[in-house]
Amino acid sequence: MTTVRSDRTSEDVLHPLDRLTAGEIDRARVLLEGAGLLGPTVRCAVLALEEPSRAQVRRHRSGDEVDRRVRAVLLDRSTGGSRTVLASLTRERVEEVVKHDPATDGQPPIMLEEFEAVDEIVKADPGWVEAMSRRGITDLSLVAACPLSAGSFDLRGERGRRMLRVLAFQQHRPSDHPWAHPVDGLVAYVDLIERRVVELVDTGVMPVPAEEGNYDDPEFTGPPRTTRRPLEITQPEGPSFTVERDVVTWEGWRFRVGFDPREGLVLHELSIADPSTGDPSTGDRARQRPVAHRASVAEMVVPYADPGPVRFWQNYFDSGEYLLGQQVNSLERGCDCVGHIHYFDAVMADADARPRTVSNAVCMHEEDDGVAWKHTDLFTGAAQTRRRRRLVISFFATIGNYDYGFYWYLYQDGAIELEAKATGVLFTGVYDDRAAEWSTEVAPGLAAPYHQHLFCARLDMTVDGERNAVEELDVRRVPRGEGNEHGNAFGRAVTRIRSESESGRIADGAAGRKWRILSTEATNRFGRPTSYVLTPEGQPTLLAEPDSSVARRAGFATRHLWVTRYDPAERYPAGELVNQHAGGAGIPEWTRADRDLDGQEITLWHTFGVTHFPRPEDWPVMPVDTCGFRLTPHGFFDRNPTLDVPPGS
């Protein structure tokens, strides 16, 4: 097993999409301080590369000067005031400062130090301490105060406040996992600026479940099994991919690795070589054909189903509120990835706008993926089999109790797949007659509420060029009649999505619904537009009522597919400041413009996910559950592009 790392210490920026370096983050801090925008009470909630537009990237040539710009969201913890700052590191100047109205614009993302502050705030509150005492809990050092995003519910006195809502869990000792022992019936509403509990909701004393759930303790799990034999993956000649700074090439694919503190892993400038255009005898290289300018998971929402007074507000936007990328894990060789591994480090800004490096944040490796194609011919007797490989680019992030893995797969036949993996520990409460309608009992007296994990992928498509269009493809039954006398015919119905108002689409498994992204400029040898097809899994979208708070805030999650005209300022499907925003931002706002989509630069927003009805087997730690989607070439190539794959592995 071999490990290679890309931690890019060089401060030379050669391309507009190069990841931010530690030196650039330092320069951004100095620039913000010099402009009087950072100070003792001002914190940096997020600082990220302000990505150039597609047109700017297109115009860039090797050796050109690169204008490096950053976007920072700053919070004054003494007043609650916040602003977004746009600055050019190249020109060493602040270009734009936008102040936010917290009553209407939402709040900056939640920072780690605010999570830590909550423990002090609630344990200093007499009402909260007394409520714990009524439950027989006096050792507060063994109470874990769990800070959770507050949402927006128009509750009296909350508009404009920077808040968290706090549930509590008990530990039997410091090493005991608290999720097994929820202190239910009690929630504290905390003002983070005033540093006090502004409301305490106490519906009465409930028994704290006693059974422990320490999945890392042999006394709980029993001795480890001894039946497994070693399974080794070796590549004695090294991997088939090459890495130059942030650029990866593998089996005809070429792309750039990016990392964003909000979204995590981003893939830029995905293109694939067309084997039919090269000529090895003359040394002519196969032509690279673009597929997507940018691919990421731009948002995710986790809405819970319990409508009771203690938990009705539970819904979390893990990208917009918690900064998914900031919570990235440092991956371990042999556990998170196996084989010949190439790691990319992630460099991000902390709350002081100083760089911090997470080593091994992104893992890349090759995998065998079974048979690519096979045939034994009846007439010639020829028998041929080819095996398939895929390139895996992945990262894991921990958001409170859940852990999420995001795995991008690139295949030799031009297919792209995203698999999201959910694992970790279930959020828990007390199981009683009321909870039975909204949760599963996973241990004696322990409830795991029903909930959803809904992800939104942002796909800036460039299928064979900048000008694309989208069609909805359904299977079509053909009634028996003239031309179909035996009733066996079926066909395909094609609906062109011509404008944004037509783009909110729902998957339909009964219709075999897919969406085709086609070039309006390029054709294949049959004279038809080259294209890729998006195949959805078609699981339920957001199940909350349309007029609910979470539906207003997560409008993107009410449909499986949205298509918008590409705009570099339209980054996140629920808007810029998701935390405590009242809703309506992002995709619902953009699509009201009803821009033309036919033959334009377009962005696809694909919602996918799982509706989780927990089971006892999900406790005390949850086996991985998966969801995702697939993009497949459809008339993009003129024939099977893997004919040149040699036999064997």
Which tens digit of pLDDT belongs to each residue from 510-530? 999 999 999 999 999 999 999
Q: Over 60: is that where the pLDDT of 1 sits?
A: no
Establish if 107 belongs to a structural domain.
no
Residue 10, pLDDT > 80, answer: no
What is the mean predicted confidence (pLDDT) over 441-453?
Answer: 98
Calculate the CA dihedral of residues 324, 330, 336, 337 and round it to 10 degrees. Answer: 110
Let me know if residue 105 belongs to a domain.
no
Prior bond of 620 cis (ω within 30°): yes
Distance in angstroms (rounded) separating the CA atoms of residues 387 and 402: 35
Task: Examine residue 158 and state whether it is found in any structural domain, yes or no.
Answer: yes
Domain harbouring 47, CATH code: 3.10.450.40
Q: Do 200 and 189 touch, CB atoms closer than 8 A?
A: yes
Closest CA to 393 of 264, 225, 227, 228: 264
Per-residue pLDDT band for 82 (boundaries 50, 70, 90) equals: very high
Cα 368 to Cα 107: distance, rounded to the nearest angstrom: 45
Question: What band does 199 get if pLDDT is binned at 50, 70 and 90?
Answer: very high
Query: Which tokens in the block code for residue 248?
Result: 């990866």
Report pLDDT for 13. 83
| Contacts of 510 by beta carbon, 8 Å cutoff, 6+ apart | none
Selecting among 304, 322, 343, 402, the annotated active-site residue is 402
- Counting beta carbons within 10 angstroms of the beta carbon of residue 369, is it exposed (0 to 12), middle (13 to 18) or buried (19 or more)? middle
Q: Do residues 65 and 129 share a domain?
A: no
Residue 226 included in any domain: no
The pLDDT of residue 418 is above 70: yes
Structural contact between residues 387 and 372, judged by C-beta atoms closer than 8 angstroms: yes
The single residue of 318, 413, 464, 618 carrying the catalytic annotation is: 318
The predicted structure's pLDDT at residue 234: 87
Residue 2, classed as helix, strand or coil, is: coil
**Same domain, yes or no, for 273 and 168?**
no
Task: Name residues whose C-beta falls within 8 Å of residue 409's C-beta, 6 or more positions apart in sequence.
Answer: 390, 391, 392, 415, 416, 417, 418, 419
Q: Can you give the residue range of the structural domain that contains 530? A: 247-633
Tokens of 488: 């066996």
Q: For the chain, report the end-to-end CA distance as a whole number of angstroms.
A: 18
Does one domain contain both 518 and 609?
yes
Confidence of residue 335 (pLDDT cuts 50, 70, 90): confident
CA triple 374-379-383, angle to 5 deg: 30
- Residue 649's pLDDT is 66
Residues 296 and 251 in one domain: yes
Cβ proximity of 570 and 500 under 8 Å: no
**pLDDT beyond 60 at 271:** yes
Same domain for 181 and 87: no
Mean of the per-residue pLDDT values of the chain? 95
Average pLDDT over residues 531-551: 98
The C-alpha atoms of residue 94 and residue 75 are separated, in whole angstroms, by 17
> In the 8-state DSSP scheme, what is residue 19?
P
pLDDT attached to residue 338 = 82
Q: What is the pLDDT of residues 555-609, one digit of tens each?
A: 999 999 999 999 999 999 999 999 999 999 999 999 999 999 999 999 999 999 9
* Residues 343 and 270 both lie in one domain: yes
Cα gap 202→139, rounded to integer Å: 19
Token pair of 183 as six digits: 């202190």
Describe the chain by its helix, strand, coil percentages, rounded to 5: 15, 45, 45
Strand arrangement of the beta sheet that strand 82-88 belongs to: 42-49, 69-76, 82-88, 93-99
pLDDT in tens, 231-253: 888 889 999 999 999 999 999 99
345: how many CB neighbours lie within 10 A of its CB? Answer: 19
Q: Residue 169 class from Cβ within 10 Å (0-12 exposed, 13-18 middle, 19+ buried)?
A: buried
- The enclosing H or E element of 117 equals helix 112-123
- Alpha-carbon gap, residue 341 to 372, rounded angstroms: 23
Whether residue 550 sits in one domain with residue 627? yes
Flag whether 1 is in a domain: no
Q: What is the CATH number of the domain that holds 345?
A: 2.70.98.20
pLDDT at 490: 97
Is 60 exceeded by the pLDDT of residue 283?
Answer: no
Q: How confident is the model at residue 648 (pLDDT cuts 50, 70, 90)?
A: confident
Cβ proximity of 430 and 185 under 8 Å: yes
Instruction: List the one residue out of 273, 327, 254, 256 whose CA is nearest residue 8.
Output: 256
Q: Of the candidates 44, 75, 99, which is a domain's last residue?
A: 99
Identify whether 26 is a catalytic site residue. no
Other C-beta atoms lying within 10 Å of the C-beta of residue 334: 10
Between CA 52 and CA 69 the distance in angstroms is 8
pLDDT band, residue 641 (cuts 50/70/90): very high
User: What average pLDDT does range 279-302 have in this prediction?
Assistant: 85
Does residue 467 register a pLDDT over 80?
A: yes
What pLDDT shows up at residue 8? Answer: 53
Residue 339 has pLDDT above 90, yes or no: no
* 177 and 279 fall within a common domain: no
| Percent of the chain clearing pLDDT 90 (strictly above) | 92
In the predicted structure, residue 2 carries a pLDDT above the cut 70: no
CA distances from 94 to 49, 76, 474, 560, 640 (A): 14, 18, 50, 39, 52
pLDDT band at 276 (very low <50, low <70, confident <90, very high): confident
Give me 224's structure tokens. Answer: 């480890």
Tell me: do 198 and 328 sit in the same domain.
no
**Pick from 478, 351, 489, 331: nearest CA to 395:** 331
| Per-residue pLDDT reduced to its tens digit, 155-186 | 999 999 999 999 999 999 999 999 999 999 99
Count of domains forming the chain: 3
Residue 241 included in any domain: no
Show which of 204, 221, 238 is a domain's final residue: 221
What pLDDT does residue 232 have? Answer: 86
Beta strands of 80-179 (E only): which ranges? 82-88, 93-99, 143-149, 163-170
Give the pairing of strands 622-633 and 163-170: unpaired
Distance CA 197, CA 223 (A): 45
CB-count exposure of residue 381 (10 Å: 0-12, 13-18, 19+): exposed
Verify whether residue 64 is a known catalytic residue. no
Q: Domain check: are 489 and 529 in the same one?
A: yes
User: Is 70 exceeded by the pLDDT of residue 369?
Assistant: yes
**One domain, residues 208 and 259:** no
Please give the average per-residue pLDDT across 615-626, as a whole number: 98
Whether 305 is covered by a domain: the verdict is yes
Q: How far apart are CA 54 and CA 467, in angstroms?
A: 12
Question: Is the confidence at residue 637, as pLDDT, over 90?
Answer: yes
* Confidence category of residue 428, pLDDT binned at 50, 70, 90: very high
Mean pLDDT, range 490-509, rounded to an integer? 97
Last residue of a domain, which of 99, 128, 162?
99
Instruction: Check whether residue 389 and residue 518 sit in a common domain.
Output: yes
Q: 217 lies in a domain?
A: yes
- Find residue 481's DSSP bridge partners: 484
